[in-house]
């Protein structure tokens, strides 16, 4: 939050228009401080409320979910000192989830759970811009239905992997499993190990990155290290080092969005190939001309960030048995490692 505005929240209530598909999940009141300069309402809300972009703020104002001193206003309204803004955050209407016959790499399953080795390029669940071709669409085709989640667009989903991150992911088929497994994630009892290839050599053989992460105020699709963010802890270990790249093992103690990518960028070692967190062209200036040519060859083969969820361990939420899964590195990851090892041997 900014401007020292006074903000209060209330819990979920029914929407006023009677539309059962949309509920007021949160009510926010913001008291404009006396020293505040006049500012457009849509711009002000986008800065003040973490989940709002300016376009979403405009939509909320247009549909009457925002009032100023109890009255509906236009998006161009200028907020002024002493005014009380009330925003009703509505749930999204559920998407039509269509089963799609998409091949899946099933590592293990029982009647409660399924462990998937997700390929890079696959989105986990439908959302705006990705309404088909997702893991959830594929799972619905394979199993007919999944466990009920708080978000109707994410049935069975307990945790996620970024679109271009490959590796192990657990999905719940039936309801009793989802809530109990989600609790293990919340209590940090799930073991998750990743492998990554990052830029530059690390500062030591192993270490811990303990830096809070929050949404980037300049680009709301991205995250940054910021002191008012959520506590975030990543353990890392150097497995192999090359002239300008490192092969790492990473373990998550917390599970924030884009956590490894953000933490490694903040440490000065962004994930190789990551276009959103300075892992591609922004690093080329430090290379020799020969190294740049070499990286150009790598980028032709590697079209995504080199990040792979290699292991996953937890207690079965129903049987209480201890489960542990491990998967091999994908083809593009293995290829790059072999190229790096071959280049190193030529020196």
CATH number at residue 11: 3.10.290.10
Its domain, for residue 209, covers: 191-329+336-345
Q: Does 98 map to a domain?
A: no
- We report the CATH number of the domain holding residue 176 as 3.30.2350.10
Q: Does 244 map to a domain?
A: yes
**Which tokens hold the place of 344?**
């190193």
Q: What is the dihedral of CA 191, 194, 199, 202, to 10 degrees?
A: 40
- Model confidence band, residue 162 (pLDDT cutoffs 50, 70, 90): very high
Regarding whether 126 and 148 lie in a shared domain, the answer is: yes
329 or 28, greater pLDDT: 329
Helices (H), the chain: 41-48, 54-62, 135-143, 175-186, 259-266, 289-301, 331-345
Regarding whether 121 and 163 lie in a shared domain, the answer is: yes
Regarding whether 289 and 276 lie in a shared domain, the answer is: yes
C-alpha pair distances (Å), 171 with each of 125, 174, 178, 319 = 11, 9, 8, 16
Regarding whether 221 and 177 lie in a shared domain, the answer is: no
pLDDT for 18 equals 38
Regarding whether 271 and 200 lie in a shared domain, the answer is: yes
Regarding whether 197 and 182 lie in a shared domain, the answer is: no
Q: Does 1 map to a domain?
A: no
Q: Does 101 map to a domain?
A: no
Which of 47-56, 63-72, 189-198 has the highest mean predicted lDDT (pLDDT)? 189-198
Q: Which of 90, 121, 154 is the last residue of a domain?
A: 90
Of 125-129, 139-143, 211-215, 275-279, least confident by mean pLDDT is 125-129
What are the catalytic residues?
162
Would the pLDDT of 25 be above 80? no
Of 46-50, 223-227, 300-304, 311-315, least confident by mean pLDDT is 46-50
CB distance 48 to 3 below 8 Å: yes
Please state, in angstroms and rounded to a whole number, the distance separating the CA atoms of residues 279 and 282: 7
What tens digit of pLDDT does each residue of 85-143 get? 999 877 666 678 899 999 999 999 999 999 999 999 999 998 867 789 999 999 999 99
Would the pLDDT of 150 be above 80? no
* 125 CB-contact burial (10 Å; exposed 0-12 / middle 13-18 / buried 19+): buried
Q: What is the mean pLDDT of residues 29-35?
A: 90
Regarding whether 139 and 81 lie in a shared domain, the answer is: no
CB distance 21 to 94 below 8 Å: yes
Q: Does 96 map to a domain?
A: no
Confidence (pTM): 0.77
Q: What is the mean pLDDT of residues 225-238?
A: 94
Q: Does 97 map to a domain?
A: no
Would the pLDDT of 15 be above 50? no
Regarding whether 136 and 252 lie in a shared domain, the answer is: no
The total number of structural domains in the chain stands at 3
Regarding whether 295 and 203 lie in a shared domain, the answer is: yes
Regarding whether 197 and 177 lie in a shared domain, the answer is: no
- For CA atoms 207, 213, 218, 219, give the dihedral sign: positive
Would the pLDDT of 178 be above 80? yes
Regarding whether 340 and 210 lie in a shared domain, the answer is: yes
Regarding whether 130 and 242 lie in a shared domain, the answer is: no
Q: Which of 141, 161, 186 is the last residue of a domain?
A: 186
Would the pLDDT of 316 be above 90? yes
Q: Which of 56, 90, 124 is the last residue of a domain?
A: 90
pLDDT for 12 equals 39
Q: Does 256 map to a domain?
A: yes
- Model confidence band, residue 5 (pLDDT cutoffs 50, 70, 90): low
Q: What is the mean pLDDT of residues 264-282?
A: 97
């Amino acid at each position: 939050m900014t401007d020292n505005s006074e903000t209060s929240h209330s819990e979920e209530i029914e929407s006023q228009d009677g539309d059962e598909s949309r509920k007021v999940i949160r009510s926010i009141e913001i008291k404009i401080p006396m020293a505040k300069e006049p500012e457009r309402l849509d711009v002000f809300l986008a800065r003040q409320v973490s989940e709002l972009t300016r376009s979403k703020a405009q939509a909320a104002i247009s549909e009457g979910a925002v009032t100023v001193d109890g009255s509906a206003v236009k998006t161009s309204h200028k907020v002024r000192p002493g005014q009380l803004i009330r925003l009703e955050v509505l749930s999204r209407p559920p998407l039509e989830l269509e089963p799609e016959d998409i091949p899946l790499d099933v590592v293990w399953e029982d009647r409660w759970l399924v462990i998937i080795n997700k390929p890079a390029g696959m989105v986990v669940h439908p959302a705006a811009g990705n309404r088909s071709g997702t893991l959830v669409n594929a799972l619905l085709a394979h199993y007919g239905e999944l466990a009920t989640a708080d978000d109707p667009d994410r049935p069975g989903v307990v945790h996620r992997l970024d679109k271009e991150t490959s590796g192990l992911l657990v999905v719940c088929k039936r309801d009793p499993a989802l809530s109990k497994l989600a609790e293990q994630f919340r209590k940090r009892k799930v073991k998750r190990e990743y492998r990554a290839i990052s830029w530059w050599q690390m500062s030591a053989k192993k270490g811990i990155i303990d830096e809070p992460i929050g949404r980037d105020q300049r680009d709301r699709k991205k995250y940054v290290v910021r002191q008012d963010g959520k506590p975030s802890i990543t353990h890392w270990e150097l497995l192999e080092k090359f002239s300008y790249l490192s092969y790492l093992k990473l373990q998550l103690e917390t599970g924030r969005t884009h956590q490894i990518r953000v933490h490694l960028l903040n440490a000065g070692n962004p994930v190789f190939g990551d276009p959103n967190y300075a892992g591609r062209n922004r690093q080329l200036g430090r290379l020799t001309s020969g190294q740049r040519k070499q990286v150009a060859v790598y980028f032709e083969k590697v079209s995504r960030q080199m990040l792979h969820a290699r292991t996953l361990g937890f207690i079965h939420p129903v049987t209480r048995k201890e489960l542990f899964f491990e998967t091999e590195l994908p083809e593009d990851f293995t290829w790059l490692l072999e190229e790096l090892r071959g280049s190193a041997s030529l020196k």
